[in-house]
Amino acid sequence: MINETTTFGIEIETQVPANLGINIGSHGCGLSVRQVTLANGERVQAPTFNGESWKADCDPSIRTLGNYNKCEFVSPVLKGDAGLQHILDFLAFLKRIGAKRPIRMGGETHGGIHITIHAGSSCGSRSPAEIQGKDADALGKKVSTETRSTSGAAGEDAVWAVLKTCYDPEIPVNIVDLGLIYSMEMKKTDGGGRRVEVKMTLTAQGCGMGPSIAADARQKILSLEGIQEAQVDVVWDPPWGPQMITPDGRKKLGMD
């Protein structure tokens, strides 16, 4: 059982039958999965969560059999125990449509589930930031979980620190070092608190994870002490490019 305020997302890498009636988008820009048509013409409805559907994209890293297509399923933002149950429902749907696990070099199948905590409070005895930090360590990156200032009210450094715990699930670099944060301003509110306004972008327009990344950032900012309001806007001007990645980000990606 997890805290009902915890929100998270999940990606499931699969290979699906080539004769399956399903629309698969390009990697990182998946297409909504509402209904799938089996080879025998039967239509199978895909589970949705709070009216939001999963997305299917073609992950080039997936290896398949000759009569199967690469397909990565990306969930909508899930929440609490209902979100966990929804994952089980979607796994049953995948079994129903004949999806299989990807294959390794030796030909055997292997699990391809990658979970990313997007936002929320505690998950059991560990916070989402701690869970994310553990995953980050495996990728060779450092995540700061200290977000409150000793004076009692979060400052700009704390906001930047918490933004560094936010990730695009497709890329093992935080959104700050990836160069997705264009600006961050902190203002005083009429009530004596603070308001944070962030403008960020994505590596490609139309990618399905954009809203959840922005929501993740906003909720984490709001978790800081003294922050009463937060707004995270996704903008496209100027267009993002690899030159915006910080030196730390380039090092983590092996670009230098």
Task: Report the chain's mean pLDDT, rounded to a whole number.
Answer: 78
* pLDDT greater than 50 at residue 118: no
pLDDT digits (tens, 9 = 90+) for 167-203: 877 788 899 999 999 999 999 888 778 899 999 998 8
Nearest to 176 by CA among 212, 135, 217: 217
Helix/strand/coil percentages in the chain, nearest 5:
25, 30, 50
For residue 195, being part of any structural domain is answered with yes
How far is the C-alpha of 53 from the C-alpha of 156, rounded, in Å?
36
For residue 119, being part of any structural domain is answered with no
Which of 67, 88, 114 terminates a domain? The answer is: 114
Could you tell me if 156 and 93 lie in one domain?
A: no
Q: Do 147 and 224 form a contact (C-beta atoms < 8 A)?
A: yes
Tell me which H or E stretch contains 162.
helix 156-163
pLDDT digits (tens, 9 = 90+) for 134-163: 333 333 333 333 333 434 578 899 999 999
Could you tell me if 132 and 246 lie in one domain?
A: yes
Preceding omega of 60 cis (within 30 degrees of 0): no
Q: What's the CATH number where 161 sits?
A: 3.30.300.130
- Domain of residue 11 covers 7-114
**pTM for the full model?**
0.48
For residue 242, being part of any structural domain is answered with yes
| Mean of pLDDT values over 124-131 | 32
Q: Do 215 and 119 form a contact (C-beta atoms < 8 A)?
A: yes
Which of 50, 83, 114 terminates a domain? The answer is: 114
Tell me which H or E stretch contains 93.
helix 80-96
For residue 2, being part of any structural domain is answered with no
Give me the pLDDT at residue 256, please: 66
Q: For residue 192, give every residue at least 6 positions away whose Cβ sits within 8 Å of its Cβ, in sequence order, or none.
A: none
Q: Do 53 and 8 form a contact (C-beta atoms < 8 A)?
A: no
Tell me which H or E stretch contains 213.
helix 210-222
Coil, strand or helix: which one is 180? Answer: coil
